């Protein structure tokens, strides 16, 4: 940490003021939806390890913040953003953490913020290379969502997921890792979600909502593919999120052409690239 800069914790009583600075950043993965998400999580569970930090305590000047979250996984999540004209202050704020390797994952940041993460990777990752994975960031307008019709196939019931479903979801999640089941449990507990169950009550498909406000962890079991369950869950979740007054967004791994095709067929459009890095 440099002598002249330090990170000062933003009191919980000020979080809503920070969030409201980003009210116009409602499609930014680390803007309004993300900040609002963690405000609601902490309201539900005040013991959650969520910390908002600012550079030298003057976040009100340009909304610069760094958010760290411990969800019981080996790597803490980092979320960060700035309303400044450049990335200087938010980069300095990140540098104050000064301990990245094997400690943090940068969760779902937009292309505008990528240079700050690349800077951290070059400066602080010494024994391994910072791995950055890109996804296309899709959006669906409220007008489009209002046209969605929900037709559930015979033998399928749509219900909210339960904590007991976390093991099934985590087991076949392509991005699972040590402790990731705790992340899945947090999503089920704190965010809207939806599961498709067969006549025997078995979970066969699901869609959750990520901390950045978007759809996530969409999955259909092999035994139930080609029944349109993926599209059904996306449309149903889109209606749920839109009913909350929120933007409907979704990251799709760039190489996953099948999933991209499904979202685009429904009417989602790509508005940016979003990245994960650890």
Task: Write down the domain spans for the chain.
Answer: 7-130, 142-273
Over residues 136-181, the pLDDT tens digits come to 999 999 999 999 999 999 999 999 999 999 999 999 999 898 899 9
Pseudo-torsion of CA 277, 263, 24, 146, nearest 10°?
Answer: -150
Q: What number does CATH give the domain 142-273?
A: 3.40.630.30
The predicted structure's pLDDT at residue 127: 85
CA 13/CA 256 separation, integer angstroms: 41
Task: Report whether 168 contacts 181 (CB < 8 A).
Answer: no
CA 235/CA 29 separation, integer angstroms: 20
The predicted structure's pLDDT at residue 100: 83
Q: How confident is the model at residue 2 (pLDDT cuts 50, 70, 90)?
A: very low
Residue 231 pLDDT more than 60? yes
The three-state secondary structure class of 199 is coil
Over residues 34-82, the pLDDT tens digits come to 999 999 999 999 999 999 999 999 999 999 999 999 998 989 999 999 9
Reduced DSSP (H G I as helix, E B as strand, rest coil) percent helix, strand, coil of the chain, to 5? 35, 25, 40
Over residues 252-264, the pLDDT tens digits come to 999 999 999 999 9
The predicted structure's pLDDT at residue 269: 98
Over residues 210-228, the pLDDT tens digits come to 999 999 999 999 999 989 9
Over residues 178-199, the pLDDT tens digits come to 899 999 999 999 999 999 999 9
CA 133/CA 266 separation, integer angstroms: 24
Over residues 101-136, the pLDDT tens digits come to 779 999 999 999 999 999 999 999 988 889 999 999
Q: How confident is the model at residue 4 (pLDDT cuts 50, 70, 90)?
A: confident
DSSP per position, 137-157: EEEE-HHHHTT----PPTT-E
* Average pLDDT score over the chain: 95
**Is the CATH number of domain 7-130 3.40.630.30?**
yes
The predicted structure's pLDDT at residue 3: 60
Residue 1 pLDDT more than 60? no
pTM score: 0.94
Query: Do 7-130 and 142-273 come out as alike in CATH topology?
Result: yes
State the distance between the two ends of the chain, measured CA to CA, in whole angstroms. 21
């Amino acid at each position: 940490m440099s002598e002249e800069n330090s990170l000062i914790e933003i009191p919980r009583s000020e979080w809503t003021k920070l969030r409201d600075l980003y009210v116009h950043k409602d499609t930014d993965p680390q803007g309004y939806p993300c900040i609002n998400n963690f405000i609601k999580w902490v309201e539900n569970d005040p013991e959650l390890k969520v910390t908002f930090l600012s550079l030298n305590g003057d976040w009100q000047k340009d909304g610069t913040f760094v958010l760290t979250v411990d969800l019981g996984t080996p790597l803490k999540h980092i979320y960060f953003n700035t309303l400044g004209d450049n990335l200087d202050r938010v980069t300095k704020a990140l540098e104050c953490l000064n301990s990245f390797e094997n400690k943090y994952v940068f969760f779902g940041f937009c292309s505008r913020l990528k240079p700050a993460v690349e800077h951290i990777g070059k400066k602080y990752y010494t024994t391994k290379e910072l791995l950055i994975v890109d996804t296309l960031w899709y959006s669906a307008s409220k007008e489009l969502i209002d046209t969605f019709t929900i037709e559930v196939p015979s033998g399928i019931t749509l219900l909210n997921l339960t904590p007991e479903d976390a093991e099934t979801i985590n087991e076949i999640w392509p991005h699972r890792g040590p402790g990731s089941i705790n992340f899945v449990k947090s999503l089920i507990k704190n965010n809207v979600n939806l599961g498709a169950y067969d006549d025997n009550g078995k979970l066969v498909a699901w869609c959750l909502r990520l901390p950045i406000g978007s759809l996530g962890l969409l999955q259909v079991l092999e035994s139930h593919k080609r029944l349109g369950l993926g599209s059904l869950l996306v449309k149903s979740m889109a209606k749920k999120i839109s009913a909350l007054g929120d933007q409907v967004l979704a990251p799709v791994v760039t190489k996953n052409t099948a999933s991209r095709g499904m979202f685009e067929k429904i009417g989602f459009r790509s508005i940016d690239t979003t990245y994960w890095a650890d």
